[in-house]
Amino acid sequence: MSIFNDIAKVGKGILGTVAPVLAGALPGPMGALAKKIVTDLLGLDQDTPNEEIEKALAAASPETLIKLREIDAKFKTDMEQIGVDLERIAVDDRKSARDRNVALKDRTPAALAWLVVSAWIGVTVFLFCCDIPQANREIIFRALGTMDGVLMLVMAFYFGSSSGSAKKSDTIARLTETDLGQK
């Protein structure tokens, strides 16, 4: 597993909620800088394993999390001021994956996508048509949940992920901060 996949796991948890811009930068070219910012704030070495960073974030004081949110906002502003468009980098990354498939005429992603969609439909129809023994329900539902996640990845690959959803979340966070600041 690459370091970027490991780093991306950290970005999906507390960091993704408190500092979405820094979390979004982790798997990209600004990842080392984003990780340094987070580890410096937490008083950790940049070589700290990602599991330890997650633990430190989980144990962080409210003041530290507020400071992290402020740093996240400053990071976003600084990137915009120097002309780094983080959204453009993410779009280009997705585009390059699609362009690779076109250039190589690689049918593997399409085959996997068809397999995932077919399997998801099959399991869903099975759930509607068949009675599942009580002992097997947990594993069937877990498998369907995993397949739901993979299906979303397929849809995001072919139709684009919802950057609008991320912007909506940012707007809600800003409005919440504004409301809290007025009280």
Least confident range of 2-16, 35-49, 104-118, 123-137: 2-16
pLDDT at 180: 52
Q: Does the pLDDT value for residue 93 go beyond 80? A: no
Q: Based on the domain organization, do 75 and 44 belong to the same domain?
A: yes
Rounded Cα gap, residues 162 and 176, in angstroms: 21
Tell me: the pLDDT tens digits for 17-63? 888 878 877 776 677 888 888 888 888 888 888 788 888 888 888 89
The dihedral built from the CA positions of residue 142, 148, 154 and 157, taken in this order, carries a sign that is negative
Residue 47 counted as domain residue: yes
Instruction: Specify whether 57 is located in the same domain as 125.
Output: no
Q: Is residue 23 part of a domain?
A: yes
Residue 46 resides in a domain:
yes
Is pLDDT above 50 for 11?
Answer: no
pLDDT at 168: 54
Q: What is the SS3 assignment for 100?
A: helix
Taking residues 141-162, what's their average pLDDT?
83
Same domain membership, residue 115 and residue 63: no
Query: Is 143 part of any domain?
Result: yes
Match 């998801």 to its residue by tokens: 120
Q: Clarify whether residues 33 and 72 are in a common domain.
A: yes
* pLDDT at residue 47 in the model: 84
Return the axis-axis angle of helices 31-42 and 3-12, rounded to nearest 10°. 50
Using CA of residue 95, residue 97, residue 102, residue 104, what is the dihedral sign?
Answer: positive
- Tokens 């739901």 correspond to 148
| 95 assigned to some structural domain | no
Question: Does 5 have pLDDT greater than 60?
Answer: no
Task: Kindly state whether residue 170 falls inside one of the protein's structural domains.
Answer: no
Residues 14, 63, single domain; the answer is yes
The residue to which tokens 């504004």 are assigned: 178
Amino acid 77: pLDDT: 81
The number of folded domains in the chain is 2
The residue range of the domain holding 154 is: 107-159
Provide the residue type at 152 as one letter.
Answer: M
Q: Give residue for tokens 């329900």.
A: 137
Regarding pTM above 0.75, the answer is no
Q: Is residue 37 part of a domain?
A: yes
Q: What value does the mean pLDDT of the chain take?
A: 76
| Gyration radius from the chain CA atoms | 20
Determine the average pLDDT of the residues in 153-167. Answer: 68
Query: Residue 31: inside a domain, yes or no?
Result: yes
Helix 86-104 / helix 134-159 crossing angle, nearest 10 deg: 90
